[in-house]
Amino acid sequence: MDLGLTGKVAVVTGGSVGIGLAVARGLAAEGVHLALCARDAARLEGVAEAIRAEFGVRVLPVPADVGVAADIDRMVAAVQAEFGGADILFNNAGTGSEETVLDAPDEKWQQYWDLHVMAAVRLSRALAPLMMERGGGVILNNASICASQPLGYEPIYNVTKAALVMFSKCLANELIPHGIRVNALNPGLVRTPDWEKTARILTEGKAQTWEAYLQNIADENAPIGRFARPEEIADFAVFLCSPRASYSVGSTYYVDGGWLRVTT
């Protein structure tokens, strides 16, 4: 299926690993030029070079921490200089947390608010006018099933991802008259390097393997009985970024292997 994305320009945050990398590769396979950002400059440059070589698209790597407003300003300036704007924004950068509400300091709440919410606010605010000049665009925000079905050990993650979902709805209503579609994704269990790293740490010196640890989590939570591959999330994300999804506006899509325990 031709998704009609050839020649478009996409900005992908957290684009050097996990879901962000899978989405970047999926877009590149459709002929989309990329502006990728991540904090690890060396890994980001390596990813950019690999995507250029494999798919023949232009890739602009911008080392940046999107939780910092000045880094976002610098990234947007780089995108304007290289591409003149963007057609797609995938707000993906983020990470899990571990705390209790009673013990977590203000600084930790602020850090995650800036990373999960304000990064999407600032990038959308900066890039939406450029999308309007190009005739429209797509903003897709990567939230989490935890926005609706919280995990007890990460209340800050749960709260900020829930806020990102509501932001997506509000932004969708504001931008659709300008031809910009906004949606959100709520993935469930996705086998990213972060999950594997955590599993290795928690099983070190124990009889249980890290692979068995992850399988137990999947068995306990996902009726499908396994973690998703990042590419499975990316395939759906790329579709939502395409004109083939032209009637998809202001919605939140669960890609969770059946984990969500209520209807939405």
Please identify every residue annotated as catalytic.
157
CA distance 25 to 46: 13
Q: Tell me the two tokens of residue 234.
A: 């990316």
Rg (C-alpha) for the chain, rounded Å, is 18
**For residue 241, how far is the Cα from the chain centroid?**
12
CA atoms within 13 A on the CB side of 214: 20
Under the phi-then-psi rule, with left for phi > 0, alpha for psi from -120 to 50, and beta for the rest, what region is 37? beta
Query: Which DSSP symbol is given to 140?
Result: E
Please list, in sequence order, all residues whose beta carbon lies within 8 angstroms of the beta carbon of residue 30, skipping any fewer than 6 positions away.
3, 5, 6, 238, 242
- Closest by CA to 66, choosing from 140, 122, 127, is 122
- Closest by CA to 47, choosing from 19, 21, 78, 82, is 21
Q: Tell me the two tokens of residue 59.
A: 């890739």
Q: Where are the beta strands (DSSP E) in the chain?
A: 9-13, 33-38, 59-63, 88-91, 137-142, 180-187, 252-255
Using a 10 angstrom Cβ sphere, with 0-12 exposed, 13-18 middle and 19 or more buried, the burial of residue 28 is buried
Instruction: Please give the biggest Cα pair distance in the chain.
Output: 59
